Structure 1
């Protein structure tokens, strides 16, 4: 399925893999979740009109509204909205025809959409999650959460929705990192990339590691809730463990959200001042420093915990340190404006407004970076105000980006008068909503009761919330008017724009370019493929053939990403209802849709196991079809690839994926070490079965050797040898799983369950996470054997065997780390 239906067809949007279509899907879906989260905010702001609450919401409904508002805005709106711009414009800005892996790009979107459907559906599964967007332990496990048994299913659905969203982010980061590093137009070095692309490159590098930490935290939490393990409900330092893992993600997330907005500000300031960004190289260096430092300051969110004062002081210093590069960026924007000729268009007004709001948010954040002041402000509306002045200033710039690129996406201009009026209402509503929160700072965060002296400030804020909401209605009306009655946009409506997307028609054609973009002369040119210059001068026949192949045979359509997304959604929905948690309920006999037995144990409704089975069945079919589908997404024949010239796209993608997986296992292993030290290293007993562990170590090491032999056989085009060595790898992996099953059953037979104590929870989960990786590898190995038998695969191109080997060796290395930790220590 290579050809795309017309845009007016529903089928087009179900099968498309084209980066511009996927970008539009992201933008439209993110705006829906903006409205969803915004309506929740208006509801609980109305509830806060009077001290003590108006009675509009019950306690549980208030907590759900606040929690889901935060989750929707942080996860389902902010990053995906920026991702929509990145999907659409990063390939255009770097001169690529698409992302490196178009089908994975579509799959990333469908995971995002279905995760949003699952989190929205949580309200209809007994009630959504109530523990705040930070999901602090132990409030994130059912036994410490208020509500009915049925509400547990809705909370589970929220956690699984976040897991699915995180998988979406992981696929997207791999795709963008490979694309930006290996598909830049000839002559475009890293230093020469547009500022929005630079900001997005650093964003996805941060995403790769930060969301891997979140994925680990969510996996542990989902297993706690579904299988009764005791990571976060046991005491024994479990609350501190959640804080460390979550905020290792949570603080980089602030910059993950803000960097794309910053990139838009850089682009629009350059365009509407008519001059290059002042100190551009130093701004890039400052952004790199922030990206690295963002992982070194997470504990300033934990100043009120039992971490010792010396560590808190160190974290205070790093927090102050990370503000310094931002100072440079802010002054660069101000000097660019001062030295240029400003044109106050709608995009520029939103970008300038974002800068003003961010400065105020940053200054008030410095208060929270000081340990002593944080003791006073933590958990109050000062944090709420500061947080929104930073995060929603990013939204302000993103709205500016929507106005900036709207003519390119749609081919239509909008009314500047309506746009400027929209900005005025937005800016007034923003400050009416959030600034009074600084004045009402003594109000406890996430609590609907507050002192009567604070009432006037909350009433002003509520009015501001409705004004801000009205500004978004004006935004939608302005853009709708543009679509219906707006004049046709020229290819470049902005006089001083300087990036490549403005050099092609509005909207861009399906394949972006006629000819190949090149910057080898120092400016953008479109080179005739038959005249392509290479390192040796004239293109080789292979180069020309590859480029022609790109133009004529690149595919743009596949239904299987949608199918995989649907299957994963069905599976996760089913898993949400499988929690066998013990409650103190015996009567009534039925609570919501969940039956209870005489002991109070939840008996899952038969619908949920059926959904698990259905989801697995859909995944089995769609993943198989995905694997055998003939889909062509060739690499560019000529491109800048530093520093990965000798690595093809797929191999780099595997490396990047494994880098994120290192963080996942690192979090799991870190949890083991942290909890063992907390309990007492020598008080930790799991009755290790050393022989089983040692035997399995030999088995996996031998399987690594057979994978190497498989690659040799593939390179020699020896089909029998390839089948034998891949079969041996499969057999050794199955032997490993068999020994592990014997080990697990023996422990369970001795009365040591995964819920018997925190040490057994960590043993079963950590080794089980590794076993899951082995299982996934075995599925891939079985599929590869099928392909060898059926179509003589991998004899002409042995690279897939090499890629599988990289994954398998990684799994083996992880076991070499786990073996001494669990069996020898």
Structure 2
């Protein structure tokens, strides 16, 4: 119940909370911490670049590690999470929901994010963090080819931290997609949702597929680093394979980072010009076009590879084409400003600054989109300057959002003079830091040696870095002063704000709305459903509009059932996963010793540390316990009774969530299968025979899995008929069939091992073991769920009244079976 929820002054509140506003605050605060961490690393290597000789405070290895960690922290642990913090806090408010669709999963996504950041910080103390550049190009991403990464364990921890971060993103993405599509207030169609929510909706759709591709690439890299497979440790096209996988994620990531910033710019321009965004419908269409096209331009990052000129020309055309929708958005912002009456508040100044900086970043990016110019600029500081003018212009807009929504989040106003001083120092520092990089473009990126003629530009950039750093000190001082002694903020401090979050108190109450928000009349109203009809005053319906007018309250509200807001188990799952991944980071020496004992490789890794297998086992035990308790916990998160759900009216929240998750898993398996096809075609299709010498084990497993799909269908029929014995029998049959599949697979693998054929024996073996191993892991996870469901059927007669969980399990299990139907011919017959 809400009455039992700990207050915000309690530490317990922040450990157990699942409320979207609390999670949003946690995201923002944690992201700002990683901003400071990444910023300090940047100052370290900018000092190193003060002189052309590079004789600074960092060694060669430390410089590489600092540059790499700075890039990873800023791109992954600051930019997307701080935007996610705003979205967590504001999207439910803007669309009229009380929370996200799955509050516990929302909390879990935060804890995975936090522990992934802790893991990358610990990597510095595991002999050194990853130092192969934030793009992790092959073959520098495996220790064999990178003298700067003597420490295998620290590099492993970095890759595992990225995997955990990507899992966090996927969980959050599914949650937001379900919420925005199925929990909008009555009458709030997709065309009419606020532009920040629109930008975030497109962002999470891009995240769903882009981060799935990154997850696949990272899983392959992790197997190379920990299990010594050979995806990226060979000269058989591994560099090109990594580039395809990474940039299929990497280019949408630019828009994933910038779209939330763009949404903030739209909101603040509307508020501080006092008029609706010019061409709003066309702006939305332009954003949709960019979101789709972002997946069709990744190869322009690969113009220097051996890809033929015709394909490069096509990618150049799509790259130039994707700039056109942005032209429309930029002109929409400019015309809104021209036609409105501008109020130069701190949020507007940062938004305007972001627009100016982004225009410069976009124009310089068009240079890189041309094949001929890219041959000259690629790998130079021109790319560094362009990249930061685009990405950090997004940071500029995010700071605008922090100032804009600060009164709503904290209930306190900030000092406007300090805010404007913050902007002035920030804008000067930004351009002093990054613009000289265009002039020093001949400097090779990620290298601290450069020509003496470039020294003055690098010295200006280093001074700019410290000025930009000082602007963040002003930012933190301004916000800290506001929090401690700032005047109380009104519910709506901005005269022309037009979105629903300004219609509630500052800060908002725990469950956002006392009455139900509705747009059925064409404007925001609050309907008192508990009284059977809206309370009236002189025959006029009692409403509360977006201008903050107080609604008339019905005198006798019926007792309402409050959703839950607290659970300790998301934190527990985060801890268990963190311990498991920490243990996995140190297992490489054990695998290397085993490979050396089989005569497969010459061991060149450090001595094994017994602590890591123990930590791994401990992580598995913790994870098993907390997942079991998470499944048993009774947590109430009701769906909205009345909501806009087009185009998914007939699909429940959980079912839609399962479908969305499986869509991302399609990309993961697609990347694994694509890697197999790419590497085999590159090596010459007939250069190796199928690793399994006989097809019958694969054929037998195909029959087993197809039969298990049939038993799952029978299980759903039995649950719908409330036949406990039948349900128990069919679920048990599914379990036994799944175990039979694993048994056949175990026999097959053991037979290969007996003949000295391991996953590190050659590229073809790596492809076979890793791809079928990923599928086997999915089977194991499905069987664990089946065991838990059987336990609940036996102990509490579960699924008799509500058969939907059996259906959801069936969707996952059918997906696993379908994947095997593709893997069988690829690995056993072709």
TM-score normalized by structure 1? Answer: 0.96
Asked if structure 1 preserves the Cα contact closer than 8 Å seen for 2:691 and 2:768, the reply is no
Residues 578-623 of structure 1, C-alpha deviations (whole Å, 9 max, x = no match): 0138999xxxxxxxxxxxx995554421110011011001101100
Asked if structure 2 preserves the Cα contact closer than 8 Å seen for 1:582 and 1:601, the reply is no
Between the aligned partners of 1:248 and 1:117, the Cα distance in structure 2 is: 27
1:705 aligns with 2:710: yes
1:626 aligns with 2:627: no
Between the aligned partners of 2:532 and 2:26, the Cα distance in structure 1 is: 35
Alignment CA distance shift 1:551-1:125 (3 Å): farther
SS in 1 for 2:458: helix
Between the aligned partners of 1:600 and 1:64, the Cα distance in structure 2 is: 21
Q: Tell me the equivalent position of 1:590.
A: none
Asked if structure 2 preserves the Cα contact closer than 8 Å seen for 1:787 and 1:793, the reply is yes
1:143 aligns with 2:144: yes
Alignment CA distance shift 1:549-1:399 (3 Å): farther
Cα drift, residue 682 of structure 1: 1.2
Between the aligned partners of 2:823 and 2:591, the Cα distance in structure 1 is: 31
1:91 aligns with 2:92: yes
Q: Kindly report which structure 2 residues correspond to 1:116-155, keeping only aligned pairs within 5 A, or say none.
A: 116-147=117-148, 149=150, 151-155=151-155
Between the aligned partners of 1:82 and 1:551, the Cα distance in structure 2 is: 33
Q: Tell me the equivalent position of 2:678.
A: 674
Between the aligned partners of 2:294 and 2:206, the Cα distance in structure 1 is: 8
SS in 2 for 1:736: helix
Cα drift, residue 52 of structure 1: 1.6
Alignment CA distance shift 1:286-1:718 (3 Å): same
Asked if structure 2 preserves the Cα contact closer than 8 Å seen for 1:686 and 1:760, the reply is no
Cα drift, residue 687 of structure 1: 3.7
1:727 aligns with 2:732: yes
Between the aligned partners of 2:395 and 2:166, the Cα distance in structure 1 is: 21
Asked if structure 2 preserves the Cα contact closer than 8 Å seen for 1:582 and 1:602, the reply is no
Between the aligned partners of 1:241 and 1:581, the Cα distance in structure 2 is: 28
Alignment equivalent of 2:664, drawn from 633, 656, 660: 660
Alignment equivalent of 2:810, drawn from 805, 808, 819: 805
Between the aligned partners of 1:60 and 1:601, the Cα distance in structure 2 is: 18
Q: Tell me the equivalent position of 1:539.
A: none
Once the two structures are overlaid, the 10-residue window that deviates more, 252-261 or 681-690, is 681-690
Between the aligned partners of 1:123 and 1:494, the Cα distance in structure 2 is: 45
Q: Kindly report which structure 2 residues correspond to 1:3-402, keeping only aligned pairs within 5 A, or say none.
A: 3-147=4-148, 149=150, 151-402=151-402
Between the aligned partners of 1:744 and 1:636, the Cα distance in structure 2 is: 49
Between the aligned partners of 1:129 and 1:148, the Cα distance in structure 2 is: 6
Asked if structure 1 preserves the Cα contact closer than 8 Å seen for 2:47 and 2:56, the reply is no
Residues 332-388 of structure 1, C-alpha deviations (whole Å, 9 max, x = no match): 000000000000000000000000000000000000000000000000000000000
Alignment CA distance shift 1:582-1:139 (3 Å): farther
Once the two structures are overlaid, the 10-residue window that deviates more, 548-557 or 654-663, is 548-557
Asked if structure 1 preserves the Cα contact closer than 8 Å seen for 2:27 and 2:110, the reply is yes
Alignment CA distance shift 1:491-1:155 (3 Å): same
Residues 252-282 of structure 1, C-alpha deviations (whole Å, 9 max, x = no match): 0000000000000000000000000000000
Asked if structure 2 preserves the Cα contact closer than 8 Å seen for 1:227 and 1:580, the reply is no
TM-score normalized by structure 2? Answer: 0.95
For structure 2, which runs of at least 5 residues remain unmatched after alignment?
535-556, 594-600
Between the aligned partners of 2:465 and 2:411, the Cα distance in structure 1 is: 33
Asked if structure 1 preserves the Cα contact closer than 8 Å seen for 2:130 and 2:149, the reply is no
Asked if structure 2 preserves the Cα contact closer than 8 Å seen for 1:368 and 1:377, the reply is yes
1:571 aligns with 2:580: yes
Q: Tell me the equivalent position of 2:465.
A: 465
Between the aligned partners of 1:753 and 1:793, the Cα distance in structure 2 is: 43
Between the aligned partners of 1:190 and 1:382, the Cα distance in structure 2 is: 40
Q: Kindly report which structure 2 residues correspond to 1:727-746, keeping only aligned pairs within 5 A, or say none.
A: 727-746=732-751
Q: Tell me the equivalent position of 2:562.
A: 553
Asked if structure 1 preserves the Cα contact closer than 8 Å seen for 2:517 and 2:526, the reply is yes
Cα drift, residue 732 of structure 1: 0.1
Alignment equivalent of 2:655, drawn from 639, 651, 655: 651
Asked if structure 1 preserves the Cα contact closer than 8 Å seen for 2:296 and 2:318, the reply is yes
Alignment equivalent of 1:614, drawn from 607, 613, 618: 618
Q: Tell me the equivalent position of 2:544.
A: none
Residues 540-562 of structure 1, C-alpha deviations (whole Å, 9 max, x = no match): xxxxxxxx999423100000000
Between the aligned partners of 2:494 and 2:615, the Cα distance in structure 1 is: 52
Once the two structures are overlaid, the 10-residue window that deviates more, 785-794 or 573-582, is 573-582
Alignment equivalent of 1:758, drawn from 759, 763, 770: 763
Residues 651-680 of structure 1, C-alpha deviations (whole Å, 9 max, x = no match): 000000000000000000000110010011
Between the aligned partners of 1:342 and 1:511, the Cα distance in structure 2 is: 34
Once the two structures are overlaid, the 10-residue window that deviates more, 572-581 or 185-194, is 572-581
Between the aligned partners of 2:288 and 2:751, the Cα distance in structure 1 is: 51
Asked if structure 2 preserves the Cα contact closer than 8 Å seen for 1:581 and 1:601, the reply is no
Question: Over aligned residues, Cα RMSD in angstroms?
Answer: 1.5
1:786 aligns with 2:787: no
Between the aligned partners of 1:444 and 1:405, the Cα distance in structure 2 is: 40
Alignment CA distance shift 1:458-1:754 (3 Å): same
Between the aligned partners of 1:713 and 1:122, the Cα distance in structure 2 is: 50
Alignment CA distance shift 1:700-1:443 (3 Å): same
Between the aligned partners of 2:86 and 2:696, the Cα distance in structure 1 is: 54
SS in 2 for 1:210: helix
Q: Tell me the equivalent position of 2:554.
A: none
Cα drift, residue 32 of structure 1: 0.1
SS in 2 for 1:796: coil
Asked if structure 2 preserves the Cα contact closer than 8 Å seen for 1:582 and 1:600, the reply is no
Alignment CA distance shift 1:424-1:50 (3 Å): same
SS in 2 for 1:301: helix
SS in 1 for 2:638: coil
Between the aligned partners of 1:532 and 1:367, the Cα distance in structure 2 is: 63
Between the aligned partners of 1:599 and 1:306, the Cα distance in structure 2 is: 33
Between the aligned partners of 1:801 and 1:148, the Cα distance in structure 2 is: 48
Between the aligned partners of 2:382 and 2:519, the Cα distance in structure 1 is: 49
1:635 aligns with 2:639: yes
Asked if structure 2 preserves the Cα contact closer than 8 Å seen for 1:692 and 1:743, the reply is yes
Q: Tell me the equivalent position of 1:476.
A: 476
Q: Kindly report which structure 2 residues correspond to 1:363-442, keeping only aligned pairs within 5 A, or say none.
A: 363-442=363-442
Residues 665-719 of structure 1, C-alpha deviations (whole Å, 9 max, x = no match): 0000000110010011111223423000000000000000000000000000000
Aligned residues: 799
Residues 396-435 of structure 1, C-alpha deviations (whole Å, 9 max, x = no match): 0000000000000000000100000000000000000000
SS in 1 for 2:124: helix
Asked if structure 1 preserves the Cα contact closer than 8 Å seen for 2:113 and 2:168, the reply is yes
Between the aligned partners of 2:796 and 2:721, the Cα distance in structure 1 is: 17
Cα drift, residue 817 of structure 1: 0.6
Between the aligned partners of 2:465 and 2:144, the Cα distance in structure 1 is: 35
Between the aligned partners of 2:351 and 2:204, the Cα distance in structure 1 is: 22
